[in-house]
Amino acid sequence: MPNAKLLLQYDGTDFHGWQIQAEARTVQGVLTDVLSRLEHRPVTVHGAGRTDRGVHAHGQVASVVLTREMSETEWQRALNANLPPDVRVMAVEFVPPDFHARYSAVSKTYRYTLCLGPVLSPFLYRYAHHFPFPLDLAAMREALEAIIGEHDFASFGTRERAGKTTVRRVYDARLWCEGDLLHLEITANGFLRYMVRTLMGTLCEIGRGRWRASDMERILRARDRREAGPTFPAKGLTLLRVRY
């Protein structure tokens, strides 16, 4: 009974997020259906990160225990032959039984993409948020320094259930340009819900000059969601990779 690690890509546009739901099309739901059909029994699929509705993945990881005698390559082919084209299994790897996509994860990297140009290409509108305004990148980069390290990110997330910590450790955060796209990439040991989207919204307030770079530290220390900027739309967000 091998434990399998699945490397997944999906276009989140037509999914109601990762997490399985009775009435909505979700990535975990679609995967669970196909795996259960191939295994002739109900299976449970664990995902590294619960991406929200409309969020994409370049490197989501799922784990599942499989019983059919097939090789890694045969599993990959069988899955891709049965999954819809907006989810793909990029690799299947048999891993030790204690591997768990969520609990074994050491860090995750998310990317948020803005299009700063005057026109948002019809080939990108599903994957980037249109923000055609001049931005002070130097100020945004200075502000970004403040989030590196271990902090309470309560100002940037939805409230967690009682007893759940809002402290996360950010290992790396950077802004980089590619043509008229601006990417924010953040690697952390975990993320609060809406954290990257609200960080991007806050950075853009600083980039437009409404707030100063130094306000980022004040907002962090406030631990109050009302202090931060807007939560940017889901479609600009992609789960890039998960490290174990």
Q: Which tokens belong to 37?
A: 């059909």
Nearer residue to its own copies within complex by CB, 74 or 145: 74
Question: Catalytic annotation on 180?
Answer: no
Q: Is 23 in the site for its own copies (CB under 8 A)?
A: no
State the catalytic residue, choosing from 11, 14, 52, 98.
52
Query: Beta strands of the chain (E only): which ranges?
Result: 3-10, 46-47, 56-65, 87-95, 107-115, 129-130, 149-152, 167-178, 181-188, 237-243
User: Cα–Cα distance between 216 and 202 in angstroms, integer?
Assistant: 8
Q: How far apart are CA 39 and CA 56, in angstroms?
A: 27
> Quick one: which segment of 9-17, 61-69, 160-168, 178-186 binds its own copies (CB under 8 A)?
9-17
Stretch that binds its own copies, among 28-36, 78-86, 99-107, 172-180 (CB under 8 A): 78-86
Residue 222 phi, psi dihedral angles, 5° rounding? -65, -30
Binds its own copies (CB under 8 A): choice among 16, 46, 68, 88:
88
In this chain, which stretch among 39-47, 114-122, 166-174, 182-190 interacts with its own copies, using CB under 8 A? 114-122
By CB atoms closer than 10 A (0-12, 13-18, 19+), residue 68 is middle
Instruction: Give the Cα separation of 63 and 1 in Å (integer).
Output: 13
**240: contact with its own copies by CB under 8 A:** no
User: CA 179, 184, 186 angle in degrees (round to 5)?
Assistant: 145
- Using the rule CB under 8 A, is 11 a contact of its own copies? yes
Q: Cα–Cα distance between 171 and 140 in angstroms, integer?
A: 17
Write each residue from 149 to 168 as x if it is in contact with its own copies (CB under 8 A), else as -, in one continuous string: --------------------
Binding its own copies (rule: CB under 8 A), the pick from 3, 9, 166, 189 is 9
Task: Decide if residue 116 touches its own copies (CB under 8 A).
Answer: no
Is 71 near its own copies (CB under 8 A)? no
Q: Which residues bind its own copies (CB under 8 A)?
A: 9-11, 56, 76, 80, 85-90, 119-123, 125, 127
